[in-house]
Amino acid sequence: GQNIDQPTEMTATEGAIVQINCTYQTSGFNGLFWYQQHAGEAPTFLSYNVLDGLEEKGRFSSFLSRSKGYSYLLLKELQMKDSASYLCAVRDSNYQLIWGAGTKLIIKP
Amino acid sequence: IAGITQAPTSQILAAGRRMTLRCTQDMRHNAMYWYRQDLGLGLRLIHYSNTAGTTGKGEVPDGYSVSRANTDDFPLTLASAVPSQTSVYFCASSDAGGADTQYFGPGTRLTVL
């Protein structure tokens, strides 16, 4: 079967750095996505990785290792508005997105 | 309209009733999707459409039907609602079938009693 694993919940302090991990086992791989979802709102696109390595976009970076079936999302200089769920999704061989259950990130002052 | 709209925002429905959730996008995206999101589970694909006139089944299609008569609209119908269909439903679209980023509507919160 296909599986995406993420921690259920993480807590971090305002101004700090946090790394959210995602491991996957899917039938084929055609890219990995990270989305942010604030409570009661729609998911919004953050980043996309299809090749190994680090993609940086402002305070957010995403890393991919295809051989290890592993990705992480790195958030720097945390702000209270970063409190949200972070969803990892893998595009499989049929080009369908397989979604993890999401990681709820709680930011404390 | 900018992006994707969904209607209604929320709905309480008696079991056995028929319900259609509406989704409209103005980005001229080829592909559209319907997901349900339940607590503790990832988004699950119900149905999708890669282009107007075509539809396909996702991971959890039973009890749901869709149509894609034109590029902009992708309604989801529950023929006879059951309590297990209580969920938040998201419509999404992307530019080129499965090959592009998906953008989401604001969601419909459906409760079936």
- B37 Cα to chain A: minimum distance (Å): 9
pLDDT digits (tens, 9 = 90+) for A1-22: 789 999 999 999 999 999 999 9
Mean pLDDT calculated for residue range B6-30: 96
Residues ≥6 apart with Cβ < 8 Å to B96: B30, B31
Mean pLDDT calculated for residue range B47-60: 95
Q: How far is CA A38 from CA A6, A45, A95, in A?
A: 17, 12, 26
Closest B-chain CA to A31: B99
pLDDT digits (tens, 9 = 90+) for B80-94: 999 999 999 999 999
- A1 Cα to chain B: minimum distance (Å): 12
CB–CB contacts below 8 A, A to B: 44
Residue A46 confidence (pLDDT) above 80: yes
* A50, A32 Cβ separation under 8 angstroms: yes
Q: What is the pLDDT of residue B36?
A: 98
Inspect the interface and report whether the beta carbons of B42 and A41 lie closer than 8 Å. Answer: no
Distance between CA A27 and CA A10 in Å, rounded?
Answer: 28
Which of B54, B55, B3 has its CA nearest to residue B25? B3
Chain A CB contacts of B44 under 8 Å are 99
Q: What is the pLDDT of residue A1?
A: 74
Higher-pLDDT residue of A93 and B36 is B36
Q: What is the pLDDT of residue A61?
A: 97
Distance between CA B95 and CA B48 in Å, rounded?
Answer: 13
Out of A4, A42, A91, whose CB is closest to B42? Answer: A4
Inspect the interface and report whether the beta carbons of B102 and A97 lie closer than 8 Å. Answer: yes
Out of A30, A48, A101, whose CB is closest to B101? Answer: A48
Residue A47 confidence (pLDDT) above 80: yes
Inspect the interface and report whether the beta carbons of B105 and A42 lie closer than 8 Å. Answer: yes
The DSSP symbol for B20 reads E
Mean pLDDT calculated for residue range A17-33: 96
Residue A88 confidence (pLDDT) above 60: yes
